């Protein structure tokens, strides 16, 4: 392994995050905090408890997941798109770096950024309401795997995009809807049967459900099924990425 090379990609990406912390870290935290205030404190006070937790508490894991996956995706997709756009990708492609090292460098940096944002959101949520975490180790696993999976997915999007428009197309058209329909604001079980079934093809449902179980110990989907499906989705992304790098699709002419 070229550890120094992998670390150099990682550090360069982290420097990029901390060079503009307002945009990369603070702004997603503030946006999520607004959801707490509007949906949790204002509207949530009118809603009865869901499986033993207040509505405010109920939406916290979902909002954390939503921030994790959107930020992880945007960090890695812009991380690879930018050097492709300005041409500096040449220094990575001509260096003795394996595909695995390049992928890990970008995705681990994006995952780190997302986990920092997720932790900050949790801390901010604590200002509004107490939120116990019943299974902290599982919570970390669900958060990490989700962020990592979406970092991989983001890398695919960043490579596939050859315009800024395409780069923002996926998050706007697919990721945000999937996240909103993934059960951030409601348990899947309150939906009509058809919509419940449709929801089950949305991978975000399992991610949110998994984290919610780690927090409160109850949820509408078996956490083992959630974990398995997240890993399946992760492996799909890994497979796609290795194929992209092997063929050089949109990277090497």
Q: Least distance (Å) from other proteins to the CB of residue 23?
A: 13
Nearest to 150 by CA among 251, 233, 206, 232: 233
CB nearer to other proteins: pick between 75 and 230: 75
**Quick check: 209 and 226 in contact, CB under 8 A?**
yes
For residue 187, count other CB atoms closer than 10 A to its CB: 17
Distance (Å, rounded) from C-alpha 32 to C-alpha 21? 16
> Does the footprint of other proteins cover residue 31 (CB under 8 A)?
no
Distance (Å, rounded) from C-alpha 33 to C-alpha 139? 20
CB nearer to other proteins: pick between 44 and 105: 105
Binding pattern for the stretch 85-124 against other proteins, x by CB under 8 A and - elsewhere? -xxx-xxxxxxxxx--------------------------
Is 140 strand, coil or helix?
A: helix
Distance (Å, rounded) from C-alpha 68 to C-alpha 205? 14
Q: Which of residues 5-24 bind other proteins (CB under 8 A)?
A: 5, 7-9, 11-12, 15-16, 19
CB nearer to other proteins: pick between 91 and 162: 91
Binding site for other proteins (CB under 8 A): 2-5, 7-9, 11-12, 15-16, 19, 83, 86-88, 90-98, 248, 252-253
């Amino acid at each position: 392994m070229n550890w120094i090379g992998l670390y150099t990609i990682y550090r360069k990406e982290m420097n990029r995050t901390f060079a503009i912390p307002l945009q990369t870290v603070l702004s997603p935290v503030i946006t999520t905090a607004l959801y707490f205030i509007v949906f949790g404190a204002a509207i949530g006070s009118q809603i009865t408890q869901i499986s033993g937790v207040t509505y405010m508490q109920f939406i916290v894991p979902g909002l954390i997941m939503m921030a994790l996956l959107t930020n992880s995706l945007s960090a890695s997709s812009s991380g690879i798109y930018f050097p492709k756009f300005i041409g500096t990708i040449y220094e990575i492609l001509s260096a003795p770096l394996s595909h695995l090292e390049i992928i890990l460098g970008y995705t681990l940096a994006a995952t780190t950024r997302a986990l920092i944002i997720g932790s900050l959101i949790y801390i901010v949520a604590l200002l509004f309401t107490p939120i116990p975490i019943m299974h902290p180790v599982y919570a970390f696993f669900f958060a990490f795997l989700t962020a990592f999976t979406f970092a991989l997915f983001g890398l695919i999007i960043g490579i596939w995009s050859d315009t800024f428009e395409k780069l923002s197309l996926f998050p706007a058209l697919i990721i945000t809807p999937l996240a909103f329909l993934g059960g951030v604001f409601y348990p899947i079980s309150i939906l009509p049967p058809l919509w419940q079934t449709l929801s089950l093809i949305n991978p975000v449902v399992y991610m949110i459900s998994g984290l919610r179980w780690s927090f409160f110990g109850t949820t509408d989907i078996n956490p083992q099924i959630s974990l398995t499906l997240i890993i399946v989705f992760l492996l799909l992304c890994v497979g796609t990425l290795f194929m992209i790098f092997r063929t050089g699709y949109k990277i090497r002419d």
